[in-house]
């Protein structure tokens, strides 16, 4: 008795299904690379299923490119939805708004197009002919992998900037715990790490495909030096990192005694005027204990938006902050807000109060969080999430660097997720910042993976600029990251308290290559990607003309 045809696995069905399964697999593997799972080693192979689908899935007709792009879109949809799921779950619970459950899928729908572009680029532009998919030439293979890695870096650069930008979880960030590998960030920033990882994924597929295609009598007579060069590149990067970690020498420096206050105010209470007295009491208690520490604190940190209202909102708030600052022997750096009557605008600020200064020095946050500090396309989105962002902040325009009186060093304050932005952070170091301080409030995201993702992205700022990064959060993660990316956690998340530590601040270290030149690799990658696209367009146009000519000759001969 024969099996019903509906239960037979037909080869044609399998050939149609496996590329989509591969795309789903890559999306899942990429998710595992980042917190909360944090399996960064998977980054070295996470893209290989998607690359195989882009290179080897059999498609025909005029919509080949569209099908390749769809594979990338599926992988991106899985990755961004799962990685940013906290956008939906925590905010919908906090605001009791079911519409916010759609926030992560909406972000994924937009960001999925970046993956779609990349898969289309490698599958329909870089590798077009069947003969090319056998990858017989070493130099061509290296060029293909370099071009594919450049396209990945290019789309990450665009994602960080377009429509306000949200560059969290670039692929290179997955290596944040691999200390030897991330040391090259002082030259290339995160783009260099992303380039290296994508290059390795592409070469893994290309080399294996070439070996499988050349198995036979002449297998051992062929030299495949693209494999050797790829391994040599990875080993060279690793060896440089080991050397830097072994030397552990950034030149002369001074110890800075820092006290970070972690008040752990629940997000439901943080901006409630009725809770102001309680919040003041807890801040005063923790700051008083910090003032009693020995040796005395030279810098005391409060997190972003420390008080329920702006420190300038009324006399009570202002005098409270001023009294706490005067009780300290060192400086107080805190996060607050400010209303400018001249521009009629609100700003998210960091304020530094020192014993010798009459008025606080102010830094106005420059990079605002879309859907957090301002609502893009407010007329469109206000009916759905207007309560989440009832009014918009305005972005600051000055890279303000603060001078500490004791010791005589200069610090930069990065507010909220500004410490995830390499191009912005390096500008403060160019202005003379010798240490970086991040004031944040990740209490918005409860006990989700968001705070750990925030930290993972921030670690690379210290390595890129060879400057220590000190983080003070309302609910955590309160910690310090040294100039080599080593994280010293000071307090457990969602624990109220304070921590006193000495942080070594280099005073004579030169500016790194990345600090001086920024995202130079991203710019080169953009040019390389554009060059490949122009070349492909020219080849398509020339081929189209040749086909028209052959058709015309055929018609004339008839």
List residues with catalytic annotation. Answer: 304, 365, 416
- Distances in whole angstroms, Cα of residue 387 to Cα of each of 274, 378, 391, 544: 19, 11, 9, 54
CB neighbours of residue 139 within 10 Å: 9
Torsion of CA 352, 354, 356, 362, to 10 degrees: 10
Pairing type for strands 253-262 and 469-473 reads unpaired
- Among 528, 484, 426, 535, smallest CA distance to 195 is for 528
Give me the DSSP letters along 274-288.
GGHHHHHHHHHHHHH
* Of the candidates 77, 23, 32, the residue with the CA atom closest to the CA atom of residue 52: 23
Nearest to 472 by CA among 333, 303, 324: 303
Within 13 Å, how many C-alpha atoms sit on residue 324's CB side? 28
Per the CB < 8 A criterion, the answer to whether 50 and 204 are in contact is no
The C-alpha atoms of residue 356 and residue 395 are separated, in whole angstroms, by 29
Task: Count Cβ atoms within 10 A of the Cβ of residue 199 and give its class: 0-12 exposed, 13-18 middle, 19 or more buried.
Answer: buried
Contact status, residue 195 vs residue 184, Cβ threshold 8 Å? no
Coil, helix or strand for 374? Answer: strand
For residue 227, what are its two tokens? 């494999």
Element (H, E) at 500: strand 497-506
Q: How far apart are CA 482 and CA 486, in angstroms?
A: 5
Query: Is residue 371 a contact partner of residue 163, using CB atoms and an 8 Å limit?
Result: no
- 75 vs 17, 190, 205, CA distance in Å? 14, 22, 18
Helix locations, 164-272, DSSP H: 179-182, 185-214, 225-247, 267-270
How many helices and strands, by DSSP H and E, does the chain display? 17, 12
Phi-psi region of 113 (alpha: psi -120 to 50; beta: other; left: phi over 0): alpha
Q: Is 215 exposed, middle or buried (0-12, 13-18, 19+ CB in 10 A)?
A: exposed
Query: How long, in residues, is the chain?
Result: 558
């Amino acid at each position: 008795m024969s099996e019903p045809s509906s239960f037979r696995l037909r080869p044609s069905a399998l050939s149609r299904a496996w590329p989509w399964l591969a795309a789903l697999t890559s999306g899942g593997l990429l998710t595992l690379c980042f917190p909360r799972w944090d399996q960064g080693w998977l980054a070295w192979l996470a893209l290989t299923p998607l690359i195989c689908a882009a290179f080897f899935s059999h498609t025909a007709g005029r919509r080949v490119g569209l099908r390749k792009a769809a594979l990338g879109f599926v992988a991106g949809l899985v990755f961004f939805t799962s990685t940013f799921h906290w956008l939906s779950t925590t905010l919908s619970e906090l605001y009791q708004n079911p519409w916010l459950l759609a926030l992560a899928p909406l972000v994924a729908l937009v960001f999925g197009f970046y993956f779609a572009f990349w898969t289309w680029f490698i599958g329909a532009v870089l590798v077009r002919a069947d003969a090319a998919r056998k990858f017989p030439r070493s130099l061509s293979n290296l060029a293909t992998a370099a071009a594919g890695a450049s396209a990945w870096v290019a789309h990450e650069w665009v994602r960080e900037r377009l429509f306000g930008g949200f560059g969290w979880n670039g692929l290179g960030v997955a290596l944040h715990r691999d200390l030897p590998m991330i040391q090259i960030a002082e030259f290339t920033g995160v783009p260099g790490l992303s380039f290296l990882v994508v290059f390795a994924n592409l070469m893994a597929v290309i080399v294996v495909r070439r070996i499988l295609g050349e198995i036979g009598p002449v297998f051992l007579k062929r030299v495949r030096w693209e494999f050797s060069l790829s391994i040599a590149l990875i080993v060279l990067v690793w060896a440089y990192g080991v050397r830097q970690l072994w030397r552990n020498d950034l030149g002369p420096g001074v110890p800075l005694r820092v006290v970070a206050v972690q008040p752990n105010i629940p997000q439901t209470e943080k901006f409630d005027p009725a809770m102001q007295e309680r919040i003041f009491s807890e801040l005063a208690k923790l700051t008083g204990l910090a003032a009693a520490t020995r040796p005395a604190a030279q810098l005391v940190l409060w997190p972003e938006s420390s008080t329920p209202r702006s420190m300038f909102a009324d006399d009570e708030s202002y005098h409270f902050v001023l009294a706490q600052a005067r009780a300290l022997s060192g400086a107080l750096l805190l996060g607050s807000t400010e209303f400018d009557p001249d521009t009629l605008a609100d700003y998210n600020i960091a304020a530094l109060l020192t014993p010798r200064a009459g008025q606080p020095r102010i830094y106005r946050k420059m990079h605002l969080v879309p859907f957090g500090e301002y609502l893009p396309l407010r007329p469109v989105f206000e009916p759905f999430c207007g309560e989440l962002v009832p009014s918009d902040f305005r972005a600051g325009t000055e890279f303000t660097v603060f001078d500490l009186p004791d010791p005589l060093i200069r610090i930069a304050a990065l507010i909220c997720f500004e410490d995830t932005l390499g191009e912005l952070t390096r500008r403060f170091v160019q202005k003379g910042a010798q240490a970086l301080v991040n004031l944040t409030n990740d209490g918005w995201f409860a006990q989700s993976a968001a705070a750990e993702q925030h930290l993972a992205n921030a670690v690379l700022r210290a390595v890129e600029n060879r400057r220590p990064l000190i983080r003070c959060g309302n609910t955590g993660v309160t910690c310090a990251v040294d100039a080599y990316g080593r994280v010293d956690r000071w307090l457990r998340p969602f624990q109220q308290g304070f921590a006193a530590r000495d942080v070594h601040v280099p005073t004579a270290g030169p500016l790194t290559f990345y600090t001086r030149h920024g995202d130079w690799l991203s710019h080169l990658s953009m040019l390389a990607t554009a060059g490949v696209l122009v070349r492909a367009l020219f080849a398509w146009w020339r081929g189209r003309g040749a086909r028209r000519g052959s058709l015309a000759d055929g018609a004339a001969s008839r």
